[in-house]
C-alpha cells in the first residue's frame, strides 16, 4: 500500500514538473524571440541583455527541472518494478493457497469416507 501511495505522490510530482518544464520552455522561447527582435536599438539591446541573463537563468531552471523530472521518472520505474514483483508474489501465494485448499478438501472428503465406512461396519 505504501508503494502505491509513494507512486501516486511521484506521479503528481512528475505532472507538476512537466507543467513547470512547459512553462519554462514557453518563457525561454518568448525571451529569445524578444532578443532577436530588438535590432540595433541600444536601449533595446540593454534590455535584451537583461533578458538574456534572465534567459540563462530560465535555461538553468529548465535544466534543473528536467533533471528532477528524470529522477522522478527513474523512481517511478523502480516503484513499478517493485509493484510488479509484489504482484507476482501475491499471485504465487494465491496459487499456493488454492493448492492447499484443494488438498484440504480432498483430505476432508477422504476422512469423511473413512468415518462413513467405519460407521457402517
pLDDT, one tens digit for every residue, the chain (121 residues): 566 677 777 777 777 778 887 887 777 777 667 666 665 555 665 666 666 667 777 778 778 888 888 888 888 888 888 888 888 898 999 999 999 999 999 999 999 999 888 887 7
In a domain, 32, yes or no: yes
The pLDDT score that the predictor gives to residue 39 is 58
- Asked if residue 101 is part of any domain, the answer here is no
Region for residue 120 given its phi and psi (left: phi exceeds 0; alpha: psi -120 to 50; beta: otherwise): alpha
Judge whether 71 lies within some domain: yes
Q: Is residue 119 part of a domain?
A: no
The pTM score is 0.45
Residue at 50 is within a domain: yes
pLDDT at res. 43: 66
Angle made by CA atoms 106, 102, 105, in degrees to the nearest 5: 40
Residue 70: inside a domain: yes
* pLDDT score for 103: 95
> For residue 24, what pLDDT is reported?
78
Count: domains in the chain = 1
Domain assignment present for 95 = no
22 is a domain residue = yes
Do 61 and 69 form a contact (C-beta atoms < 8 A)? no
64 is in which domain, residue-wise?
A: 2-87
What is the model's pLDDT at position 100? 95
3-class secondary structure, 40: coil
Amino acid at each position: 500500500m505504501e508503494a502505491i501511495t509513494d507512486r501516486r505522490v511521484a506521479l503528481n510530482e512528475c505532472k507538476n514538473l512537466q507543467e513547470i518544464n512547459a512553462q519554462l520552455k514557453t518563457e525561454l522561447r518568448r525571451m529569445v524571440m524578444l532578443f532577436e527582435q530588438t535590432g540595433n536599438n541600444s536601449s533595446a539591446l540593454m534590455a535584451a541583455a537583461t533578458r538574456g541573463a534572465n534567459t540563462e537563468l530560465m535555461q538553468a531552471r529548465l535544466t534543473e527541472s528536467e533533471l528532477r523530472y528524470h529522477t522522478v521518472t527513474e523512481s517511478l520505474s523502480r516503484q513499478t518494478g517493485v509493484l510488479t514483483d509484489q504482484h507476482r508474489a501475491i499471485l504465487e501465494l494465491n496459487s499456493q493457497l488454492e493448492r492447499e485448499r484443494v488438498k484440504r478438501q480432498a483430505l476432508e472428503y477422504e476422512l469423511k469416507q473413512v468415518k462413513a465406512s467405519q460407521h457402517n461396519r
